[in-house]
Structure 1
Amino acid sequence: MTPSPMRTAPAGSRRGAVTHPILRLLVSTVLLAGCMSAPSRTPDTARAAPASLDLPPMKIFSPAPRQSTSRSNASIARDFLDLSFALETGATLDRFTRFEGPITLRITGERIPASLGYDLSRLMDRFRTEAGIEISRVAATAPASITIETLTQAELSRRAPNTACIVVPNVSSWQEFRHARRASLSWTQVERRERLAVFIPENIPPQEIRDCLHEELAQALGPLNDLYRLPDSVFNDDNIHSVLTSFDMLILRATYAPELRSGMTRAQVAAALPGILDRIHPAGVGRATDPVQPTPPDWTTAALIAMGDGSLAQRRRAAEIAVTIARHEGWSDTRAGFSWFLLGRLAVSSDRAQAHLALDEAYRIYAARPETRFHAAHVAMQRAALALSEHRYEAAYEISASAIDAARDAENAALLASLMLTESEALAKLGRTQDARSVRLDSLGWARYGFGSDEEVRARAAEIAALAR
């Protein structure tokens, strides 16, 4: 959800979600950078895809049961307030806002990808059943509370640079957004949500379109802030979760509880939340509540720089600062794991020993808790890629295979395909040719959903294959 710190998203916009390097799984830059000890090859050779690679039909995720949150209601109330009364920029909000009454949604745009309708229908079903939100789709020409408009990535970048997709209040079209006064697009001026628009590029992979739907519609309906401390939520700038979790749906259900209304102050909402949560989440009554350790601004700045588009040396130094702060704070939570993860990925090309140490530490932190198993799967991908590039094929196989279930449960096809392709290459090197072929074929269907075009799928497959050379 966070763009490069070198640029600022326009007022009223949602910062880019899927441009985050973790979600995109930059095998072409991060993983191939780990192959410095392998025989040299040109970038063209590294990305060359076998012309004979036939691609199976695209795979899509089916509805699956969600694991309920084990949080205490006191901790959920605390997070609800911090999410709902601040913006990602740090600005505070003096009033609570939401839609009042039934919500309507429409889709417009010259080209609407086929996958968008399927993923949107699944998401709207979840809004209705899990969050209790009364939301329905209307015709493209009808007035609507929420407009989803598709456009080219180039168009979006011209008006909202360095964003993947955005949600904007008080407009219902791209044309209106382009000509609106900046002040009218500010979330701080919204008193009640009546109409807004979500803008999504039409020419990005299906998974990224789905991720935009989840993240931007979640913000359109509910909280406007992100918190790095949340391990099980889309409302976190680490972007590990891209599909709304049970915690997120509980936050949205509380947002639309009848006890709340637009215009309430933080104190008024805080007074109402205990009763609301006891009613909608009885499992959280009386549970122990861990104290909150604040996130120092210096850590946030360092993490943003490490995720940004500066020089590799600058980003690596920022990751080292994030690790230093995390250790000084005594963290053992998702922020600590994320600090080590950033450092591990950025150290691959220049300090292999540091990369191993950092990724191992990130994995240790994430693997210690069930709520961060998806995080651990991302780290596993990096560790498996390193093992493959170092010709440790048994380790590459074991590490990648162990993370596949988590990637599937996270509905992250890009991560799932990358893990399976890595497993396949390791199996081939271990002489298990038939198993390797089967895993590879299965991976390519997921890769089409995760990476999009046939050309990109073939290129990603070739990049991972190059690691084993």
Structure 2
Amino acid sequence: MKHLGIAFLLAALSACTAIDPVDAPTRIKAIEAVLPPSKSFGAARPTPPVRSNENIAADFLSLHFALESGAKLPVFTRFEGPVTVRLTGMPPASMQSDLSRLLTRLQREAGIDIRQIPEGQANITIQAVSQKQIHRILPQAACFVVPNSSSLEEYRRDRRKSKSNWTELRSRERIGIFIPYDASPQEIRDCLHEELAQALGPLNDLYRLPDSVFNDDNFHTVLTGFDMLILRAAYAPELQSGMTQEQVAALLPGVLTRLNPRGDRIAAQPVSETPRAWINAVQRALGSGAGSARRINAANEAARIGQQQGWTDQRRAYPHYLLGRMGQFDDPEAAQQQYALALKYLDATPGTEVQRAHITAQTAAFALAQGHGADALPALNDAINVMTRAENAALLATLLLLKSEALRQAGQIEQARTVRLDSIGWARYGFGSDLVVRSVTQDIAQSAATNTGG
């Protein structure tokens, strides 16, 4: 989606920005001056979970008693007592503001006694480092969390020791989180949400969860109502570090009845585990080489496994979404068929509004290419509302640019311009101001060269 969004941004700025072809530094400053400022989200409006407490209890146990690798965790662990957080390294301004906002949410929604301290030893240390430093240790990681380390240097030195092994943990006292300072504001914020939540609670990800950041499909970017309920339950007074899975399971029904009484009135659905073969196929489908035969074969394999499992939830939809993304440039018509298949299952699964909004961005782009912008407006408006609530600025910017083009095709030129400008502020947060400015500078330079015959 990032490349699609930037492409639309270039068109948008070409239409609303006039800069003389002067030297590069002056041009960049001039563009900065006319660009709308980076936007930020207001008060969080998470959607409450729409599943039964019986299902949520099963999810809680799966999240807390296993790692993503499948390794089992022998006991439940959490912080006992107030939790302190310290931000170190080279954090940009947006990182501090997003951390403050997240800590407020954790206090209010999860009931966790957590606060930031300016110095000294904290329970959780968040170190802002470069992407290059992270990739030297974990080449595929955007950010990561580890036990019993407070700096990247300490973790690099002790990563082979038992203190750095989650399966050896019996209580949580000191956790390190490493996040790149040289990513976009949204990428930094997304890392804060996922890694701080894992530092406090679940260490596993489950593809079966439609409404959670604890899912490797990456549709959700900030902690959801479900996630906050899981964290609130983890810090319930009935539980404590060192409990076995059986002990926690015996107490969870009472905890969830107290915290989420509406969940007792919702019928439980059969819990279906996700086979490792499906997970492996999806991970291969997400690999490098867009549209490669290996990725397409892997997505088709995941679709076959989902059919064999008898799934009708978002896991059945996900491979079709991936196939649509991989084929949308080579065979747009076939890609639309894959998106339609994905929507068939998503429409029947509660809590999948965010996934459907992602597909709207793809189907609306296809409609615009066919000149059917006016027809795409209702779906775009719905998706924009969903992404505003989900706080995904990158996709929100793209959806707004699609809406701008749809309005232009419908003859609503002034409204199209207003929406286009609105999208740029969200793009600066979602994609990063530097990327937006560089893209616009390059586009204007190319336009100037074309107009002067260069």
Q: TM-score range by the shorter chain?
A: 0.7 to 0.9
Give me the identity figure in percent: 51
Match of 2:126 in 1: 148
Aligned residue among 320, 324, 328 for 1:340: 320
How far apart are the structure 2 equivalents of 1:117 and 1:347?
A: 39
1:408 to 2:373 alignment: no
Report the AA paired with residue 413 of structure 1. Answer: A
1:179 to 2:141 alignment: no
How far apart are the structure 1 equivalents of 2:198 and 2:349?
A: 27
Say if 1:400 and 1:423, in contact at 8 Å, map to a contact too: yes
Aligned residue among 70, 93, 118 for 1:90: 70
Summarize the Cα distance change of 1:462–1:66 in structure 2 as closer, same or farther, 3 Å threshold.
farther
Match of 1:27 in 2: 4
How far apart are the structure 2 equivalents of 1:216 and 1:431?
A: 45
How far apart are the structure 1 equivalents of 2:258 and 2:442?
A: 52
Say if 1:169 and 1:187, in contact at 8 Å, map to a contact too: yes
Aligned residue among 250, 262, 270 for 1:291: 270
Deviations 1:316-368 (A, max 9, x none): 11111112222222222110121211111111133323211001222233234
State TM-score, norm by structure 1: 0.85
3-state SS, counterpart of residue 104 of structure 1: strand
3-state SS, counterpart of residue 140 of structure 2: coil
How far apart are the structure 2 equivalents of 1:375 and 1:408?
A: 14
Match of 1:3 in 2: none
Match of 2:26 in 1: none
Summarize the Cα distance change of 1:331–1:25 in structure 2 as closer, same or farther, 3 Å threshold.
farther
Deviations 1:365-391 (A, max 9, x none): 323445111110001001112222333
Match of 1:216 in 2: 195
Deviation at 1:394, TM superposition (A): 2.9
Aligned residue among 363, 379, 383 for 2:359: 379
Aligned residue among 414, 418, 428 for 1:434: 414
3-state SS, counterpart of residue 320 of structure 1: helix
- Counterparts in 2 of 1:258-337, with a 5 A limit? 258-310=237-289, 312-337=292-317
- Counterparts in 2 of 1:385-396, with a 5 A limit? 385-396=365-376
Report the AA paired with residue 283 of structure 1. Answer: R
How far apart are the structure 2 equivalents of 1:379 and 1:462?
A: 30
- Counterparts in 2 of 1:130-169, with a 5 A limit? 130-139=109-118, 141-169=119-147
How far apart are the structure 1 equivalents of 2:115 and 2:39?
A: 27
How far apart are the structure 2 equivalents of 1:450 and 1:310?
A: 24
How far apart are the structure 1 equivalents of 2:248 and 2:325?
A: 41
Larger Cα-atom Rg: 2
1:250 to 2:218 alignment: no
Summarize the Cα distance change of 1:71–1:398 in structure 2 as closer, same or farther, 3 Å threshold.
closer
Report the AA paired with residue 308 of structure 2. Answer: H
Deviations 1:135-157 (A, max 9, x none): 11111x31100001101111111
Say if 2:50 and 2:351, in contact at 8 Å, map to a contact too: no
Say if 2:373 and 2:406, in contact at 8 Å, map to a contact too: yes
1:192 to 2:165 alignment: no
- Counterparts in 2 of 1:40-55, with a 5 A limit? 50=14, 52=18, 54-55=34-35
How far apart are the structure 2 equivalents of 1:47 and 1:313?
A: 32
3-state SS, counterpart of residue 106 of structure 1: strand
Match of 2:403 in 1: 423
- Counterparts in 2 of 1:7-86, with a 5 A limit? 25-27=2-4, 50=14, 52=18, 54-86=34-66
Summarize the Cα distance change of 1:418–1:48 in structure 2 as closer, same or farther, 3 Å threshold.
closer
Mean CA deviation greater in 324-333 or 114-123: 324-333
Summarize the Cα distance change of 1:80–1:254 in structure 2 as closer, same or farther, 3 Å threshold.
same
Deviation at 1:26, TM superposition (A): 4.3
Deviation at 1:430, TM superposition (A): 3.2
Aligned residues: CA RMSD: 2.3
1:207 to 2:186 alignment: yes
How far apart are the structure 2 equivalents of 1:121 and 1:210?
A: 11
3-state SS, counterpart of residue 371 of structure 1: coil
Higher helix proportion (structure 1 or 2): 2
How far apart are the structure 1 equivalents of 2:54 and 2:373?
A: 47
Summarize the Cα distance change of 1:462–1:313 in structure 2 as closer, same or farther, 3 Å threshold.
farther
Deviation at 1:100, TM superposition (A): 1.1
Say if 2:313 and 2:348, in contact at 8 Å, map to a contact too: no
3-state SS, counterpart of residue 352 of structure 2: helix
Say if 1:421 and 1:461, in contact at 8 Å, map to a contact too: no
Say if 1:97 and 1:193, in contact at 8 Å, map to a contact too: yes
Say if 1:334 and 1:372, in contact at 8 Å, map to a contact too: yes
Unaligned 5+ runs, structure 1: 1-23, 33-45, 464-469
State TM-score, norm by structure 2: 0.88
How far apart are the structure 2 equivalents of 1:456 and 1:387?
A: 25
Deviations 1:297-329 (A, max 9, x none): 221111111111146221111111112222222
How far apart are the structure 2 equivalents of 1:310 and 1:225?
A: 27
Summarize the Cα distance change of 1:454–1:55 in structure 2 as closer, same or farther, 3 Å threshold.
farther
3-state SS, counterpart of residue 191 of structure 1: coil
- Counterparts in 2 of 1:347-362, with a 5 A limit? 347-362=327-342
Mean CA deviation greater in 346-355 or 264-273: 346-355
Summarize the Cα distance change of 1:461–1:261 in structure 2 as closer, same or farther, 3 Å threshold.
farther
3-state SS, counterpart of residue 84 of structure 2: strand
Summarize the Cα distance change of 1:360–1:121 in structure 2 as closer, same or farther, 3 Å threshold.
same
Report the AA paired with residue 104 of structure 2. Answer: D
